[in-house]
Structure 1
Amino acid sequence: MDSKKQYAQFFEKQLLGRYITLNHIKPILDILPSFCKISVVGHSVLDKEIISIQLGHGVKKVLIWSQMHGNETTTTKAIFDFLGFLSHKTTSKEVVNKFLGTYTLTILPILNPDGAEAYTRNNAKDVDLNRDAQDQTEPESVVLSSVFKAFSPDLCLNMHDQRTIYGLESGLPATISYLAPSADKDRTITSARKEAMEIIASLFLNASSEVKNQIGRYDDGFNKNCVGDTFQMAGVPTILFEAGHYENDYQREITRKHICFALLDLFKINSNAGNPSIDIYNAIPENKKNYKDVLIKNVKLPKENSFQTIAVQFVENLLDNKIVFTPTIDAIGSLTDVYGHLEVDANGSEVLINSHDKITIGQKVLHIIDKNNPNTTFFSIDSFS
C-alpha cells in the first residue's frame, strides 16, 4: 500500500474542522484496534480526563502530545489519521508489525481538554502550558512531566498549530514549520539536538513537492520555561511541529494530510531517501510574520493623496460548537513587505467598509466595496466559511 496515495482511505472523517474536543475523539478511541491501549493518565483543572494512547513494543520510545494549546487542533486530526493508517484493512500487516516491533508510542492527543472545550490557547486558569515547564503550576503540566519521566522516551514530538501570519521570505505561506529547540542560551548543538535536527532534515527531504517549498523553521531562541527546551535540556531529542496555512485551507484539512505524511516519514513507513544533515536543517528558511489573511491594495483613503493597503485578519471565535471567522481591520499603511492569503487590487478606488467610509483598526468587516461603484465588491465575509 502506497500510504500517501491511499490517504483518503484512512483519513479520519469523524474529525473535521477546527474545533476538536474530548467528545469528538472518544468515539474513535472506542474503535481503535486492540494493539492500542487507552488509559487516563490525569485530569485537567476542570477535572476532564487526559487520555493516553499507547501502542507498540519496540525499543525506540516516542512521546507525542497535541493540543497543549486547546485551540490548536490540526495535529490532533493528523495523529488520528496516522492511527487510521495503522488500523486500516488495506494496510499491510507486515508494515504494521514492523512498526509495532520497532517503536513504542505514548500519545496524549489532547493535553489541554479544558482549552479544547473553550477553544482557547491557555488552560482553564488562563495559563500557557508551554510556559509552565519549570514551575509546573498546572495539573496538565504535571501530567506531561510525569508521563515523560515514567515513559523515559527516546524522542518527543511537540505538536502545535501556527497562525496564518507566518510565511517565508519567498512569499509562500509556512504550511509546516519545525524546530529543534535549544538546550541552553548558547544554542549548543548537543547530541540530542543534533538528532532532532537530522530528523527534521529527513522530513524536509521527504516532503511532497506540494508542500516542500512551504516548510519553515522557527527561531531557536532558548526559553527554559518551554516544554521542548526543557526536554531537550534533559537530553531527549525533541521536535516542535507547527501546522500552518495552505492556500484556501482555513479548516486545515490539507495541512493535516501533510502532518500525517510527516509522521509516516518519521516512522520510516514511507521511503526515507536523502542524506539528512544539520546543514539541510539550517537551510530550511526561517519563519517570518509577513502574512495577513486579506490585503486590499491601492486604496484611496479619505483626505490623502497616496494609495494605501488595508490588511484584514480573521479572528476565530467559538459559536454554537463551531469556529466562526470574524474579519477585522488589522493594519493600514504601505505594508510593502506583507503578503496576503487573498490579495485584491482596488486600483485607486475609495472604499466603503460595511457601507461606511470610516476605517479604523479593530473594525469588524462584513464587506468592502467600491465607494463609487457599489456593485464592485473587493471582499465579503460570505466568500469564506
Structure 2
Amino acid sequence: MAIKTLNNLYLDVKSEALYGRYVTNSDLEKWLETIPRTWLSTLGYSVEGKPVYGLRIGEGPKKILLWSQMHGNESTTTKALCDCFNLFLKDNNVASTILTNCTLMAIPILNPDGAQRYTRLNANGIDLNRDAQNLSQPESKVLRSTFDAFKPDYCFNLHGQRTIFGAGTKGHVATLSFLAPASDVKRSITPARKEAMALISDINNHMQTEIPRCIGRYDDEFNLNCVGDTFQGLGVPTVLYEAGHFTNDYEREEVRRLLFLSICQGLFSIAKGFSKASYKGYQEIPENVKNFRDIVIKNAKSIIKDETLTDIVIQYREDLKNGVIQFTPIVEALVEPKTFYAHREIDAEGTLVQTDEKLEIQLGHEIDFVLVNNKKIALKPKNNSI
C-alpha cells in the first residue's frame, strides 16, 4: 500500500533544487529554504568550516537516525532523502503514520567538503566510513555526537555504489543494495542485526514490484572502523542503503525515485511494525557480484592482423568539470568473451574495432568514439555527450 501511495505522490514531492550527480551544500541550502525552519539545525562544521546540517521531525517514540553523503561523491541518497522530507509537508497517510509513530533525525550531507570536490574522502583525505573508532575528523565527531545525543532505535546509513555490481550472477543489475552490517568478525546474528535483516527483507519484498530481481545484498565482511558495524555492535539495528544503477540513468534520477520509495517504505514499516521473524528472507537476497561494466564491445577484433575475437571492456571515469560530472570512457580490459555483463552492449560481429583515428585499441586510453567496421559510434552516455 505504501509503495503505490508514494508513487502517486512522487512528482509532487521531488525537489527541483537537487538534480544530477553533483550535489553540494549550496544545492542543499536552496532546498532548505523551502522547509520549516523548526526542522533545521546546524550540528557542527566540516574541516573547511562548512555547516553540517541536521533535520529533526516527528513526535513518535521510535527514533530513527539517517545520514547521507558520508562519501562526498555519493549524492543520490541525499536527493532521495530530501524528497522524503518534502513528503512530510503533504497531507497523506504515509507521512502521518511515520510522524505519529517516529521521530527522525537526518543529516543530508555529512561530508560537505568531499561533496564540493566530488570525492569519497573529506578535506583531510580521510574516509569517514573508516573513522568510526578513531573519530579523528570533525565530521565523524558530528555523527557520533548526534548518535549519542539522539539515542536512535534504528539507523539508516545511506550510500551509493558503482555501476559494476550485479544482483547475483544471472545478469540482473544491482539497482539497489542493502546490508545489515556485522558487529563482530564471526558475523554473528545478534538481536540488532536480526532486526536489521528483518527490516531489509520487508523493504525488499515491497520493492520487488518496482525492480524485480535487481536488489542485491552487500558484502558483510566485518570492519570495526566502519560506522554501520560500530553502531550495529552498540545494539542499534542499522541498515545500509546503496544506490546503484538503472538502465541509461547515469544522472541517477530514476534510482533517486526508487530510493525515495525504499527509504519511505523502511520508515513506514518501522512505524507500522514488521515481522522480526522475516529475517531469514534477508539471506535469500542475491549477493552483490562485480560482474557488470558500463560498455562491452563484444565479438571484436582489436588487432589489425589478429583474427582472435575478444570483448573490449569500457568503464566510465567520473570527472568534475565546471560544476558538472562528465563520464569519460576508459578502456579497462580486453577479455575473453562473456566475462562481463554490460549496461550497454555493442556487437562488433567479428569485425575490427579501432579508435576514430583508425588506431588499435589500447588499455587505459580515454576513448570517446570507436569505429566498428568503419562505423563511428559514440561511447559517452546520451545525457552526458558534451
From the superposition, tell whether residues 247 and 95 of structure 1 become closer, same or farther in structure 2 (CA, over 3 Å).
closer
Structure 2 stretches lacking a partner, 5+ long: none
Q: Deviations over 1:353-383 (max 9, x none)?
A: 131323222100110113xx43x23443374
Contact 2:356 2:376 in 1 (8 A): no
* CA 271–209 in structure 1, closer or farther in 2 if over 3 Å, else same: farther
Structure 2 match to 1:67 = 69
Structure 1 residue 14: Cα displacement? 1.6
Write the distance in 1 (CA, Å) between the matches of 2:188 and 2:71: 28
Which runs of no fewer than 5 residues in structure 1 stay unpaired?
none
User: Partners in 1 of 2:332 and 2:63 — Cα distance?
Assistant: 44
1:272 deviates by 8.4
- Structure 1: which amino acid aligns with 2:301? K
Note the alpha carbon deviations across 1:172-215, whole angstroms, 9 max, x for none: 11000000000100010000000000000000111152313100
C-alpha distance in structure 1 between counterparts of 2:184 and 2:162, whole Å: 26
Q: CA RMSD in A?
A: 1.9
CA offsets 1:131-178 (integer angstroms, 9 cap, x no match): 111111111111111111111110000000000001121201100000
Match of 2:292 in 1: 291
Which residue matches 2:283? Answer: 282
Shift in alpha-carbon separation, 1:12–1:132, aligned structure 2, 3 A: same
In structure 2, what is the equivalent of residue 17 of structure 1?
Answer: 20
Secondary structure of residue in 2 paired with 1:316: strand
Counterpart mapping for 1:28-107 below 5 A? 28-33=31-36, 36-88=38-90, 91-92=91-92, 95-107=94-106
Match of 1:227 in 2: 227
2:329 is matched with which residue?
Answer: 327
Name the amino acid aligned to 2:7: K
8 Å contact kept, 1:46–1:124: yes
The Cα shift of 1:3 comes to 2.1
Closer, same or farther: CA 165–57 of 1 in aligned 2, 3 Å: same
**C-alpha distance in 2 between matches for 1:274 and 1:192:** 14
Q: Distance in 2 between matches of 1:192 and 1:126?
A: 32
C-alpha distance in structure 2 between counterparts of 1:161 and 1:100, whole Å: 26
Equivalent position of 1:305 in the other structure: 307
Paired AA for residue 117 in structure 2 = A
Q: Is the 8 A contact 2:201 2:282 kept in 1?
A: yes
Q: How many residues align?
A: 378
The answer as to 2:261 corresponding to 1:264 is no
Aligned residue number for residue 175 of structure 1: 175
Q: Is the 8 A contact 2:310 2:336 kept in 1?
A: yes
* Deviation at residue 104 of structure 1 after TM alignment: 0.8
Q: What do residues 99-138 of structure 1 show as CA deviations (whole Å, max 9, x unaligned)?
A: 2221111100000000000000100111111111111111
Query: Percent identity at matched positions?
Result: 42
Runs (4 or more) in structure 1 with deviation over 6 Å come to: 269-276
- When structure 1 is superposed on structure 2, of 162-171 and 269-278 the one drifting more is 269-278
* TM-score under structure 2 length normalisation: 0.93
CA deviation string 1:65-105 (max 9, x = no partner): 000000000000001111111113xx33x654432221111
Equivalent residue number for residue 197 of structure 1: 197
Distance in 2 between residues matched to 1:117 and 1:332, nearest whole Å = 35
TM-score, with normalisation over the residues of structure 1? 0.94
Q: Hey, what's the Cα distance between the residues in 2 that align with 1:260 and 1:382?
A: 24
Q: Do the aligned residues in 1 keep the contact of 2:55 with 2:107 (CA within 8 Å)?
A: yes
Match of 2:139 in 1: 140
